[in-house]
Every structure is written in C-alpha cells, then in structure tokens.
Structure 1
Amino acid sequence: MTNSAPRTTDPWAVARADVGSEEALALLREYYTDVANRYYRLHLGREGTPEEIEAGLAGSPSDDLAGPTGLFLLGRYRGEAQSCAGLRVRDARTVELTRVFVRPGLRGTGGGARLLAAVDEAARALGAERIVLDTRLDLVEARALYSRHGYREIPAYSSGPYAQVWYGKDITAPVHADR
C-alpha cells in the first residue's frame, strides 16, 4: 500500500548571514521603509519622503548585528531572501530582537514562525537565556506574532521615540509554538 497523502515541505529556510550583504541591505531597507511609512501615515497622514527614509536609515545602522555584538538571520522562501531578523547582545544572558521583517507578499505563509524559531536557536547558541524587544503599538501584526510565540509584555528596558511596548521571552528550554 502506498501513501497517497501529498508530501509537504517547508518552503522557508533561515540561516545566519552577513548583515552587510546586498540581500541583507535590501531587506533592511524594505523593513525600514515599511515601518517608517506606517508611522508617517498614522501620525502625519502621508508617506515618508526619500530624504526622510535615507536619514532614518543612516541614523539607525544595523552594523552591530554582527559578531561579537550580535548576529543577523536571513529567511529564504524557495531559495530567495524574503525575511530577516537581528539579535543584539545586551549582556551575558540577554539578547535583543530587532529588525524582524517578512516581505508583505509572503506574510501568512509561515515565514514569521520559522524566523522566530531560528531566533530562539541562535539566541541559545549565543548563550542567552532571555530575548527582549521593543516595538510600537501600531505594529499590531508583529505584536500578535510575538505573543503567539511566547513573548509576554515586560516593563520598559529601553527608551526611544518608537519604543512603546516591550516584550520578553525566557529561552532556557525549547518552546514549541501553537502555530
């Protein structure tokens, strides 16, 4: 008897990458443009100008997402770079999650879940016991993703104009998400 059930394979793969690579820089630019334009639309009723986007990118570098201060992950969907996340070492036991992005056309395909599973593995490999992050209240999809994957609101650990809500997750033991 043969199994007639369709075989499924995860089209997503996540691995460490050079934060300065062309693929990484392209995704980081899309990430920044996406979150900046959401902010500009919400607060100013318009898109950000190219000059505002460039100034924001320059003022928010990602070069600390490389050893020894951090690491950068690229998610590939069917071989093409489509998502990213960074980890920044805060202390011997804590890393900060940042620059989480899945290209809009692939949201809902499991890329965010696969990316966060790889983040947990990478954080443990760095010796971390806890992951923290800050985000904005208007990034509701990201906040829902974090909550589904074990992140809980915590007291503020950072300050800044875009830090409105803070999350933390203990990773001393593997955690399996519902989705």
Structure 2
Amino acid sequence: MVDVNGASTSSELAEWSVAPEPVAGPDATDLLRLYFTELIVRYSRRTATEAEIDEALADEPSADLVPPTGLFLVARYRNQPVGCVGLKVLTPQITELKRVFIREPYRGLGGGSRVLDAIEQAARALGATAMRLDVRADLVEARRLYARNGYVEIAPYSDARYADHWLEKQLRHPTSQADH
C-alpha cells in the first residue's frame, strides 16, 4: 500500500528482506538476466534476444561482486526474489554501486530504498566512506531514486561505455557511544 504522498507504508516495508547471496546462484542469475534484459530493451527500444542478454552478461561480468572485491544482495518481497544490488570495492574507502534492480511489478513498494540502505550498510561495514555509481540518462526512475537517497552528481570517475551521469554519496558512519 502507498500513502497519499506516494511513500510505501511501514507494513509494506516489513515485507522486504535483503541479504547476501552468491552472485552465481540461481536467484541471482535469474535477476541479473532480467536486469540486463531491461537495460537492452530500454536502450534499443525493442525486444532483447537471448543472444544479446548472454553477450551483455559476458561484457559486463558480475563475478567480482563477491568478497573481498565486492558483494551481491538479493531482495525478496514476501520471500520471492524480486530484486538485487551489488557493490564493487574501488579503494578501501570507496565502493561502487552495481546492478540495482527491482522487478517491474514490485516497484513503488519501497524496495529500491531498501536495497540501497542494505548495500550502504554493507559498504560501511567494509570501512567505505563513499559510494559511487554511474547511470545512463534514460534510466530516469533510477536517477530519481538515487537523488532521493542522497546521491549527488560528481565528475566522471570512470569511462563506462554507457555512463551519462556519475553520482556519489558520502557514507556517514554511526558515532560510537564514546563520542557522546
């Protein structure tokens, strides 16, 4: 259920769980195929072929989204795998957001913010102080999600093939009780 301001209700948010899963596992593999399918369809404005999806998976591997070089999380809504997010360690202080995806029927239910929160917590646990990402111009919903969650435009930090915008969020670490 969504309230009058378009935000998910707390009972709906309780239906979400986000946890690490092997990037090569069956749920992750299915979600990554859906992620790349959507990217191809949106970019080319036509149906994606299986060969194109396979090529995208090969061109943009996710094998580094495993410790110690990264992490991959699967989002579940009512125990159904419906989304994913990954992080790649760029430096000990900087991580990169990768593969943010929520399946179409589950969008608008708070999952995007849940996966961002979960991956940012994981980045903090690794000692990161910043999360970066690049995004295509046509992914306007994703850009709105990032802006709502504190990501701001920065100068290009990569030469990613399809990147049009580069964003970053400073990750604040909780203060310890000794600081008070």
TM-score range, shorter chain: 0.7 to 0.9
- Post-superposition offset of 1:120: 1.2
Matched with 1:8 is: 11
**Structure 2: distance between partners of 1:114 and 1:48:** 28
- Determine the structure 1 residue equivalent to 2:137: 137
Matched, 1:37 2:37: no
CA distance in 2: counterparts of 1:104 and 1:8, whole angstroms: 20
Runs of 4+ deviating beyond 4 Å: none
CA contact (8 A) 2:124 2:173 kept: no
Deviations 1:151-175 (A, max 9, x none): 001100001220110000000236x
**Other-structure match for 1:110:** 110
Task: State the alpha-carbon separation in 2 of the partners of residues 151 and 94 from structure 1.
Answer: 14
TM-score normalized with structure 2 length: 0.87
Give the residue type in structure 2 aligned to 1:97: L
> Any unmatched runs of 5+ in structure 2?
1-9, 175-180
- Indicate the residue corresponding to 2:3 in structure 1: none
Q: Does 2:32 correspond to 1:28?
A: yes
1:91 maps to 91
Deviation of 1:50 after TM superposition, in Å, equals 2.4
Q: What letter matches 2:123 in structure 1?
A: A
**Length, aligned pairs only:** 164
Cα distance in 1, alignment partners of residues 97 and 11 from structure 2: 30
Corresponding residue for 1:123? 123
- Give the TM-score normalised by the residue count of structure 1: 0.88
1:62 paired to 2:62: yes
Counterpart of 1:3 in structure 2 is none
2: CA distance between counterparts of 1:8 and 1:101? 22
Q: What RMSD over aligned residues (CA atoms) do the two structures have, in Å?
A: 1.3
Distance in structure 1 (CA, Å) of the matches to 2:34 and 2:96: 20
Look up the equivalent residue of 1:99 and give its one-letter code.
R
Question: How far apart are 1:49 and its partner, in Å?
Answer: 2.7
What is the aligned partner in structure 1 of residue 170 from structure 2?
170
CA distance in structure 2 between the partners assigned to 1:52 and 1:26 by the alignment? 15
Map of 1:4 onto structure 2 = none
Q: CA deviation at 1:53?
A: 1.9
Q: Name stretches of at least 5 consecutive residues in structure 1 with no aligned partner.
A: 1-6, 175-179
SS of the residue 2:122 aligns to: helix
In structure 2, what is the equivalent of residue 177 of structure 1? none
Q: What is the percentage of aligned positions where both structures have the same residue?
A: 49
